[in-house]
Amino acid sequence: MKYGIVTVLAAFAFMLSGCVSQGAYDSLKMKNETQSERISELESKYNSAKLELQQLREKLETARELENAGEQAAQEEIKLLEEALKEKNELVKKLQKQLLEGGVKLPAELNVMLEEFASANPDLVTFDSERGVVKFKSDLTFAPGSDNINSQAKEAISKFCGIVKSEQAEKFDIVIAGHTDDMKISKPSTKREHPTNWHLSAHRAISVLQSMMNESVTPERLSVRGYGEYRPVAPNKPNNGGNVKNRRVEIYIVPQG
């Protein structure tokens, strides 16, 4: 997760284009540096936890060998090691999740481009610069129960692809994640195409992927996920009442590979 620092010449050229003020650039640069420190700290903790996990496994294997040799004292040590191993496993998983989902350091110029893209499409798109996530509101991207992208969203995706194909973004891959609310699919014609919310969320993510491929984003950089109703960002209404905030397509900008 290490990236080259944006050069002074590149930053100066970008500012000369009139796209961003010096103050905005400095603010984003400071934010990126803070993210970098956070990710480095997480990486250090994650690597240390993985090492300790391996050491615990080796100790547990040795203790089991002693138990097989008939040493009763090894039984208590095995119990303690198994408990420690379980806790360390949970810590490793937690740190891994934080690294994968907790935020990605983006170059300052790329951050500015994405901020401006979201500002130009405020009703359709939001951008979380802390996590490197572009979020499309699915109610404005798709008709209800459909995975066909409407013309307004296609135009926005085309502009987003222009950013994705830029030099500033070439070191990043794209993960497209579909989400729904908890309203069950009941219309027969819809159910034939999308049997569950899981299917609908995945099919919508695939539609966005296909749209990006049509804009010449290389398929090697793209992947999809479908979470259905299982990762809401806001409470759904009672009795499968849904919530518009949960109907969304999130696009994660992540390190290559």
Q: pLDDT-based confidence at 117, cuts 50/70/90?
A: very high
Please give the pLDDT value at position 64: 80
What's the Cα-to-Cα distance from 9 to each of 6, 16, 106, 192, rounded to whole Å? 9, 11, 18, 55
Rounded Cα distance between 24 and 14, Å, is 12
- The pLDDT value given to residue 48: 79
Tens digit of pLDDT for each residue in 10-34? 333 333 344 445 555 555 555 555 5
Supply the pTM of this predicted model: 0.63
Whose tokens are 């307004």? That residue is 152
Residue 85, token pair as written in the block: 């191993």
| CB within 8 Å of 20: residues ≥ 6 apart | 14, 112, 116
Reported as a pLDDT band with limits 50, 70 and 90, residue 107 is: confident
Using the predicted structure, report yes or no on whether residue 102 has a pLDDT greater than 60: no
Predicted pLDDT of residue 18: 43
| Per-residue pLDDT tens over the stretch 55-78 | 888 888 888 877 776 666 677 788
Residues in the chain: 257
Q: What pLDDT shows up at residue 70? A: 65
Q: pLDDT at position 106, please? A: 81
Q: In 3-state terms, what secondary structure has residue 252? A: strand
Interatomic CA distance for residues 167 and 172, integer angstroms: 10
Q: What are the angstrom distances between the C-alpha of 250 and each of 76, 128, 148, 246?
A: 48, 10, 16, 11
Banded model confidence at residue 150, pLDDT cuts 50, 70, 90 = very high
